[in-house]
Amino acid sequence: MGASADNGLKIVVVGGFGVGKTTLVRSVSEIRPLNTEETMTRAGEAVDDISEVSGKTATTVAFDFGRITLDARNVLYLFGAPGQERFWFLWDRLFSGTLGAVVLVDTRRIDDSWYAIDRLEHHGTPFIVACNDFGGPAFARADVREALDLDPHVPLVDCDARSRASSKQVLITLVQHIKDEYAGKGRYAGQAAQAALPRQEFA
C-alpha cells in the first residue's frame, strides 16, 4: 500500500475450472497481476476434466492477485482462486479476512459453481454471482438463479471478464451488496462503509 493508505480491503473471485477468474483479475487490476499460471500438460488430463475447456492452455495452481487503489486511504486487493477440485483446500484460507466474493459462472457448466457457493455460505461471506459471457446461448436470469438455488437477496449479473468496464461493474455490484448486507446488522459496519465507495472511485 501507499504511505497514506491504511485500509486494505480483500475480495476473492471464485468459481469452477476455466470460468475466467484470472481474466477478470487481469482486466481490472491497476498493476500487472501476480499469477501462478502453469502450462497444462497431458499428465494433467488424468486429473482435471478439460472436456469443456479444450482451448485452455494454462491454469492457475495457487492464486491470482491484483490491486485497485480506491483513494488515498483505501486499497482493494483481488484474489483469484484456483478452480480445479484438487486445489479447493486452498479456498478456506483465501476466504480468511475476505470482505466479499464474486462467484464467476460459465452457464454451460453451471454445476461447477455449486461448491463455491456452498463454501461461501458456510463461511457467511457475502457474495454475488456473475455469469461470464462465453458467446453461447443466453439464459434467463430466473433460470440461472433456480439452477444455482440462489437466495433471492444474492445479486446475479452478466459480465464479460475480458472487459475492464464490465469487471469494474461486477465489483461495484459486490461492494453495494456488502453495504446492503451489513447496513442493518451493525456487523463490520465500519469496514463495509469503507468498501461502499462511490462508483467514480473505480476509475
Q: What is the pLDDT of residues 85-123, one digit of tens each?
A: 666 667 777 778 889 999 999 998 899 889 889 889 988
Our separate counts of H helices and E strands in the chain read 6, 8
Helical residues (DSSP H) of 97-163, grouped into ranges: 114-123, 141-148
User: 150-161 in b/e burial notation, b at 16+ Cβ within 10 A?
Assistant: beeebbbbbbbb
169 alpha carbon, distance to own chain's centre: 12
Q: How confident is the model at residue 142 (pLDDT cuts 50, 70, 90)?
A: very high
What span, in angstroms and rounded, lies between the C-alpha atoms of 175 and 186? Answer: 16
Q: Count Cα neighbours of 85 within 13 Å in the Cβ-side half-sphere.
A: 10
Q: What is the pLDDT of residues 167-202, one digit of tens each?
A: 999 999 999 999 898 876 655 444 544 544 444 455
178 alpha carbon, distance to own chain's centre: 14
Set of cell numbers at residue 184: 442493518
Q: What is the pLDDT of residues 49-79, one digit of tens each?
A: 555 545 544 544 457 889 998 888 888 999 9
